[in-house]
Amino acid sequence: MKKGIKLKTLILFLAASFLFFTTAQAQESFRFEGEALIHASEDDDDIEVKVIGVGGTFYFTDVNTSDHPYAEAAFLERVGSVYAGVGIGTIDSDVGMDGDITSVMADAEFMQTGSPIFLEASVSRMIIDVDSPPGGDVTWTILGIGGGWFIEDGLRVGVEYIHEEEDRDVPILVERTIEYDTLSVNGKMVKKLGAGRAFNAEATVSYVMYDDEVDDGSNNVLSLSGDYFFNRKMSAGAGLEYNRGDDNSEEGETFAANFTNFFIPRLYITVDVERFEADNRSGSDEDSLDVSLTLRF
């Protein structure tokens, strides 16, 4: 592999950041977040993916965290933001799909205190540069747009449209372009329970249409998740996703769990684990892990 995952550099960066920011005084507002993250996944076909990345979020106004769970302050205050991130990594497999991964992403969320309307847009691109002879590349491009309405403080509903294209230019695969179009209806509610405790609940219903130049069809996806905040700093959550439809390789259930802890109001860690269990032989079970460390300024 040409590009290795520089774990020693990342660990030193995280350690230095932790030592510096644990000496900072507690703050009740912030304007910017910077994150470092690690992703790792492996499926039953022995395809292993490892990625490290960095990203930053700029909020249009100061986010007041007073009396809110720290992780949900921007949502409860209705503060809009823009995000940009980059990642590099590697992919290893037993079928010749070894190579380097490069990804870039950006999204924006527009909302304002006192206004019930919110809008959002996103774009991302990931390229796998296949090293194994005879080489080639696989490219994913994703565009999303959505919006909705705050029914009341801490409760909103919305709709979203996502277009995804997967371009395969690798001789060891069938060279083709696969397109996905997803229409979703979603809802999010954060309910304060007193004494710093709170609960976050989210639900999404999606209709996914696909066309791979040979076949086309659609799948229905239901996602449910929730987080319990033990106090303003710490939360744990779980999620379930059900996928059914014409694309047999995507049919199955995804089980997720997450944990977030703020060491101080400026510094927190998030750990997410997921397992996808395929319902058909054409699909592959997959396990993934995401860890991120975020600093607020």
Nearest to 225 by CA among 236, 237, 235, 233: 237
* Domains of the chain, earliest start first: 7-296 (2.40.160.60)
The pair phi, psi for residue 279, each rounded to 5°, is -90, -15
Contact 144, 129 (CB under 8 A): no
Quote the pTM value.
0.86
Distance CA 57, CA 289 (A): 22
What pLDDT is recorded for position 4? 45
Q: What is the pLDDT of residues 68-111, one digit of tens each?
A: 999 999 999 999 999 999 999 999 987 667 899 999 999 999 99
What pLDDT is recorded for position 5? 45
Distance CA 270, CA 89 (A): 20
Q: What is the pLDDT of residues 279-290, one digit of tens each?
A: 988 888 999 999
- In this prediction, the residues of the chain whose per-residue pLDDT falls under 50 are 1-7, 11-12, 16, 18-26
C-alpha dist (Å) from residue 162 to 119, 141, 209, 213: 14, 10, 10, 19
Peptide bond into 134 cis (omega under 30): yes
